[in-house]
Chain A
Amino acid sequence: MTMKRMCCALAALSATSFAIQAGAQESGPTVTISGFGTAALTSTDTNDAEFIRPNQASGVKKDWRTGVDSNFGIQATVKVNDMISFTGQGLVRKDAIDHYRAQAAWAFAKFKVNDEFSVRVGRMGAPIYMISDFRNVGYANNMLRPPAEVYRQVTLDSFDGADLLYQHSFGDTSLSVQLGTGRADVDLPSQTIEFRKAIMLHVIAENGPFTLRFGRAQADFSLVDNPSLAGLLATLRTVGLGTVADMMPARDVKGTFTSVGGTMDWKNVVLQAEYAMRRTDTLLVQDTNSWYAMAGYRFGKFLPYYYHGNITQKSPRSVAGLPATGPLAPITFAINGPAGLAKAALQSSDAIGVRWDFYKSLALKVQVDHIKPKDGAGAFINPAPGFQGSVNVYAVALDFVF
């Protein structure tokens, strides 16, 4: 979808949203339609590798492109009565399939048990990270995009299942707890990840300008539809390297993701930080620790900010005992080489940006990231031979909600 068509669609949808809301003011089922989006241009200072958001099949180089940071979402909620509502959200963006496409981000029924408890059933946002639920809503965030060091560790946006929401105030502190269980299939450019028996816990405590968040997610996952991986594992077993293959199971592997985070929006000072640990029982999905910290200061409608993000690998970055020469050398390279299976994409980022709330429901953001890949190409894709970074990434984004 071109930017022009997106804008036309937006205008049409805004018009309908007013009409529907106006028609549904009285009692009976009410329909609310709302939407969000970001129109963005992104480029970098290199042609030696492509910058992407997690899970995109192609990215940007020196030429300015809309694909990386633009999206458009629309949400409809039908409130049947005080207890039952239905919500559906569609999202258009570029991801594993290399063109703009629409996805059913979520579609669920919500049952409000009382003022404190609700139950939801259907497809819902997976609360993996602190800003998981609204990370696609640029307007709801200060930074232009979620820091990749943390936000590319688990590529799970939504799940099919059920969750329980609990909200309670203890004096000035409000607590919300979300506990969900279900399953999901996530298409990546090179393979599909099947998450099964997923359990996700998301706890938020808010007190005035302070928010603290704890999250824990676990699942049994399988890496499927990846012929080259299957071939490699089969070869390892054929040539007597079964012990190495055993370190790299690809089916029904247990994985966990534990994270803590916090935000502060006090006077004009804005802070946000997260720390996350990924642990799995396979070398194919490496154990990592990642974090970022952001600080900003609000001058009226302007919010300049800075953030730093980093990721380190906790599991071994190479498997010992593999032959460096001879006919099996290509296998060793596939595992221990610069982009080998044992290697997590490591990098650090320093970014500066500014958010400008220049008009109601519209925010303009400019952000420059300085990304330093470590021991490989980091999160960049299609690197030219010998690519080492550092790379500057430039982006301008217009966020809107309606």
Chain B
Amino acid sequence: MDKRIKPLLAAAMMCAALPVLAAEIVVVVNPKNPASRMFSEQAAQFFLGKSTLFTPIEHTEGPLRNEFSQKVLGKDSAQVKAQWSKLVFTGKGTAPKEYGSSAEVKKAVAADVQAIGYIEKSAVDDSVKVILTVQ
């Protein structure tokens, strides 16, 4: 193979691979929710059960949830689970409902004024409002 094509090919492959490795995640709320933007520290409060102002909607375990846990909550999913088990088994909190896809999370957020969830940016539509883009 031509030496000049090789790096090009590699670059093309990386471009193709990138969206799969790192789908952009956005945090969404119900359009009726008055909040317009939020820091990730604030969003983390809800997903770790430290505030009950909003109701978190979770994904079932998978790459999207792992990425959100790492980037926004600063913990791996086992640590998040341990944190919730403290709240659940002291009767102080109820673990978030879990859904298997961004479409289902979006539907749950659209159905509950108090809800807060996260989905792939590509799944965003009018039924939800984006308040944070995860960096």
Contact A301 B78 (CB under 8 A): yes
Contacts of B89 in A (CB 8 A): 34, 36, 73, 75, 89, 133-134, 136-137, 140, 401
- Residue among B45, B61, B81 with the highest chain A CB neighbour number at 10 A: B81
Given A137-B85, A140-B85, A172-B41: A165 in contact with B92 (beta carbons within 8 A): yes
Neighbour of B85 across the interface among A36, A77, A265, CB < 8 A? A36
Q: Quick one: CB contact mask for B66-91 with A, threshold 8 Å, 1 for yes?
A: 00000000001111011101101111
- How many residues on chain A are close to B (CB under 8 Å)? 37
Contacts of A75 in B (CB 8 A): 88-89, 91
Residue pair B90, A134 in contact (C-beta under 8 Å): yes
Known A-B contacts A77-B94, A79-B94; the reply to A34 vs B45 at CB < 8 A is no
Verify A360–B77 contact, CB threshold 8 A: yes
Q: Assess A169 versus B51: contact at CB under 8 Å? Given A79-B94, A108-B91, A401-B81.
A: yes
From residue B75, how far is it (CB to closest CB) to chain A in Å? Answer: 8
A107-144 CB contact bits vs B (8 Å, 1 = yes)? 01010000100001000110000000110110110000
Chain B 1-48 residues near chain A, CB threshold 8 A: 41, 45
Q: Please determine whether A89 and B91 come into contact, CB atoms closer than 8 angstroms.
A: yes
Asked if residues B95 and A34 are in contact (CB atoms below 8 Å), the reply is yes
Residues of A within 8 A of B95 (CB): 34
Contact B82 A124 (CB under 8 A): no
Contacts from A to B (Cβ < 8 Å): 25, 32, 34, 36, 73, 75, 77, 79, 87, 89, 106, 108, 110, 115, 120, 124-125, 133-134, 136-137, 139-140, 165, 167, 169, 172, 174, 206, 208, 265, 301, 357, 360-361, 363, 401
- Listed A/B pairs (28) with beta-carbon separation below 8 Å: A34-B88, A75-B88, A79-B94, A87-B91, A106-B91, A133-B86, A133-B89, A133-B90, A134-B85, A134-B86, A134-B90, A137-B85, A137-B86, A137-B89, A139-B81, A139-B82, A140-B82, A140-B83, A140-B86, A167-B52, A174-B45, A206-B50, A265-B79, A301-B76, A357-B76, A360-B61, A360-B77, A401-B89
Interface residues of B (CB under 8 A from A): 41, 45, 50-53, 61, 76-79, 81-83, 85-86, 88-92, 94-95, 97
Assuming A140-B89, A174-B45, what are 19 further A-B pairs, CB within 8 angstroms? Answer: A34-B89, A73-B89, A77-B94, A106-B91, A115-B52, A133-B92, A134-B85, A134-B86, A139-B81, A139-B82, A139-B85, A165-B92, A167-B51, A167-B52, A169-B45, A172-B41, A301-B76, A301-B78, A401-B85
